[in-house]
Amino acid sequence: MTRITIATRESQLALWQAHEVSRLLTLHHPELDIEILGMTTQGDRFLQASLAKAGGKGLFVKELEQCLIDERADIAVHSMKDVPFELPSGLHISTILEREDPRDAFVSNDYSSLEALPENAVVGTSSTRRECQIRALRPDCNIRPLRGNVNTRLAKLDEGQYDAIILASAGLKRLGFADRISHTLDTNICLPAIGQGAIGIECRQQDANTQALLQPLHHEITALSVYAERKISTALSANCHLPIAAHATQFDQTLTLRALVGSLDGQQMLRAELTGELSAMPTISQTVADDLIAQGALELMASMNDSHS
């Protein structure tokens, strides 16, 4: 019998993802003995400050990666939107599961959509990407930080702290809260985060046995889309706390990639888009990134980095 230890955060959504990976592994390999190792990460502990000020989304994965490096775990399960673009030496994302809905969800007990909100409505989000796009559409809204797990965020809405909150549709659907979605934001209104809706499995590059066990779980169409999106951040040398979005879709043998870099106040919104052959994915990503750079993305990002320092 082979034993696999899965490192995961202990939030309800992260545990759901780990158990889903466990279920799929057992489906393909009934003989496996699977242990789930739950951990509280820095990102889970620092809930008072915004993610950008606390250090970015990478705070959710560092402890899990250390478990892999120390060989206390064989794999770590992540939301791909939380995975930094540079991984520790010796580790890699070997497997990406089929993607759930990548779009953002508008959640409110009183209003049907972003457009229906009254003037100066209080909107909660922990994402600079969401904030800049909401401000571009509704500059009158009062955007306030929203941290904590999905249940905590929904509870804060129900307590009346916000008129509406913006969450990932994927997380709500996975946890059985699809009925809380008042309106799904079109990607033309709110372009998703890089990797949003996709679950990634990280392991040691030299661990061939574990990679072989994971291979049946890999969804190549999702993986190609997520890799295309992640190459945007690599090309821009972007960190996780900047308002950057990218979303790739596939049709037949073509790939369409859209990307955005915005200012936090929503006043500047740089956009680029390209469709090409699926086989030319790296070139498509680089061309879209070059288009953003030509529009002034690097200068805009530098000015926002300066404001955070």
pLDDT tens, per residue, the chain with 309 residues: 699 999 999 889 999 999 999 999 999 999 999 999 998 765 554 445 444 454 445 566 888 999 999 999 999 999 999 898 889 999 999 999 999 999 999 999 999 999 999 999 999 998 999 999 999 999 999 999 998 889 999 999 999 999 999 999 999 999 999 999 999 999 999 999 999 999 999 999 999 999 999 999 999 999 999 999 999 999 998 766 789 999 999 999 999 999 999 998 999 999 999 999 999 999 999 999 999 999 999 999 998 876 655
Q: Which residues are marked as active site?
A: 82
Q: What is the DSSP letter of 305?
A: H
Question: Which domains occur in the chain, in start order?
Answer: 3-97+198-218 (3.40.190.10), 104-184 (3.40.190.10), 230-308 (3.30.160.40)
Q: What is the DSSP letter of 47?
A: -
Q: Which of 216, 194, 190, 192 is nearest to 80 (CA)?
A: 194
Cα 302 to its chain centre, rounded Å, is 22
Q: Which of 129, 101, 102, 123 is nearest to 111 (CA)?
A: 123
Would the pTM of this model clear 0.85, i.e. be above it?
Answer: yes
CB 76 within 8 A of CB 143: no
